[in-house]
Amino acid sequence: MALRLALVQMSVGINKMDNIAHACKLIREAANKGAQLVALPECFNSPYGTKYFKEYSEPIPGPTTMSLAQVAKDCKVYVVGGSIPESDDGHLYNTCSVFAPNGEIIAKYRKMHLFDIDVPGKIRFQESEVLKAGNRFATFNAGPCTIGIGICYDIRFAELAQIYAQKGCHLLLYPGAFNMTTGPLHWELLQRARALDNQLYVAAISPARDENASYIAWGHTTAVGPWGDVLVTTDHEETILYTDIETEKLKQVRENIPLNNQRRLNVYTRTKPVQSQNPTTSLKNNDMSGYQIDVNQHVD
């Protein structure tokens, strides 16, 4: 049994309420075309930028999530609410809420890895100047699929995807907004890597590109299959993409290349930095980087 997935690459403007209304309109359109699970992009109710987060922030539940809950209930679909700036107890988070077809919030994920980069002459962005990082995973079930959530920069951290795979996820969704520097080189590559390494589906949902915005998104919303193949992708304009998540196909890939049965957990090592007190000490039990490698431990 397949799950029909819709990925909404929507235009985002400066008017918060207009953004929310537009998102709900596109969710309804996707539901009318047979989608059972609809996913929005990162920061869909706000321009993306640290200078905007406080102004556009709200608690959860709040106006944005209440609107998404209602449209999920009206359309009887699962909705992955991209992300919004969330305010909670004096802190701001980049947060994704997930809604069941009855309108209930069934999962909430706060971006775990904050986007702090500095590429000289190209881009500097420091989310940590405004946002606080989350520290909890979020999974939910939609029909036959178990789904894990990450947000944008989280996709660069393979450990997150590996843990979700260990938790039984069939699909990982990453609402994201890669920029014009990293997008062309890394956006699709990272999705295919996470899918191939973990033999599951991966989809990343971007806002449409606005050339006049202070932060210009790459776009190119994409879904990748467990074989590492691109199932559906687009350019940078507003659109809705559709694809089917087939758990039987995932099962077949895992049987053809049984990575989970071939992992050498008995020989993988949790490395511990060591400092030699004697510069002439033999390196017999240490590799050249100074990490102890003589004792193998099981990796949970």
Answer whether 226's CB lies under 8 Å from 220's CB. Answer: no
Q: Is 42 a catalytic residue?
A: yes
Backbone angles phi, psi at 264, to 5 degrees: -95, 65
Name residue 257's amino acid: I
Contacts of 296 (CB under 8 A, 6+ apart): 266, 267, 268, 269
How many Å is the Cα radius of gyration of the chain?
Answer: 21
Please, which residues have CB within 8 angstroms of residue 241's CB and are 6 or more apart in sequence? 6, 7, 9, 221, 223, 232, 233, 234
What is the structure's pLDDT at 153? 95
Q: pLDDT tens digit string along 210-226?
A: 999 999 999 999 999 99
Residue of 43, 58, 108, 111 with catalytic role = 111
Which two three-digit tokens encode residue 225?
A: 């299959």
Residue 265: per-residue pLDDT: 81
Indicate the Cα dihedral angle 185, 43, 6, 97, nearest 10°. Answer: 120
Confidence bin at 299 (pLDDT 50/70/90): very low
Residue of 15, 80, 92 whose CA lies nearest to 47: 15
- d(C-alpha 233, C-alpha 4), whole Å: 15
What angle do the packed helices 183-198 and 158-166 form, to 10 degrees? 30
What are the tens digits of pLDDT across the range 52-77?
999 999 999 999 999 999 999 999 99
Q: What is the pTM of this model?
A: 0.88
Q: What is the pLDDT of residues 246-298, one digit of tens each?
A: 999 999 999 999 998 898 888 887 666 545 444 444 434 333 333 333 333 33
96 among known catalytic residues: no
Mean pLDDT for the stretch of residues 19-43? 98
Quick: pLDDT tens for 136-187.
999 999 999 999 999 999 999 999 999 999 999 999 999 999 999 999 999 9
> Cα(270)–Cα(78) distance, rounded to whole angstroms?
39
Residue from 103, 52, 101, 49 nearest 215 by CA: 49
- Residue 130's SS3 state is coil
Compute φ and ψ for 176, nearest 5 degrees: -155, 165
Q: How do the residues of the chain divide into helix, strand and coil, expressed in percent and rounded to 5?
A: 30, 30, 45
- 211 a catalytic residue: no
Q: Name the strands in the sheet holding 171-175, side by side, starting at the edge strand that comes first in the sequence.
A: 139-142, 145-149, 171-175, 201-205, 222-224, 230-233
Percentage of the chain surpassing pLDDT 90? Answer: 81
Active-site residue, from 96, 152, 169, 246: 152
Catalytic hit among 16, 24, 42, 145: 42
The chain-wide mean pLDDT, for the chain, equals: 90
